[in-house]
Amino acid sequence: CNLTGRWVNDLGSNMTISAVNGRGDFTGSYHTAVTSTTNKIQVSPMRGSLQHPNQKGQPTFGFTVNWSFSDSITVFTGQCFVDEDGKEVLRTMWLLRSRVDSIKDDWKATR
């Protein structure tokens, strides 16, 4: 798998990953199609790391998006797969943390 390039998910969000360096580090941008805020969605910076590819070339990776339009940050972790037709597919899970006003509101800060 080659993570470099533009990726689009099922909801229409897209991210662009610049070149992955020799250590597996990369940067890029993420433009989400969904949000729970009323703020105008903006392209947001992302930074990540790719695990060295395994023998099948289907590496694991992780990245963080620092949302430009809200007081939150999301971390993603996933793996790049090559399906039986040769198409590269990313499968990820995410965890979003929003800012809250006090520690007693901590329970509602993570999704």
pLDDT at 56: 67
- Spatial distance between the Cα atoms of 1 and 43, rounded to a whole number of angstroms: 25
pTM over 0.85: yes
Give the type of residue at 53.
P
Residue 45 in this model has a pLDDT that exceeds 70: yes
pLDDT at 50: 93
Q: Which two tokens stand for residue 75?
A: 């971390």
Q: What is the pLDDT of residues 48-82, one digit of tens each?
A: 999 876 666 788 999 999 999 999 999 999 999 98
pLDDT at 39: 80
Tell which CATH classification among 3.90.79.10, 2.40.37.10, 1.10.10.200, 2.40.128.30 matches the domain 5-108.
2.40.128.30
The full set of domain ranges for the chain reads: 5-108
Confidence of residue 12 (pLDDT cuts 50, 70, 90): very high
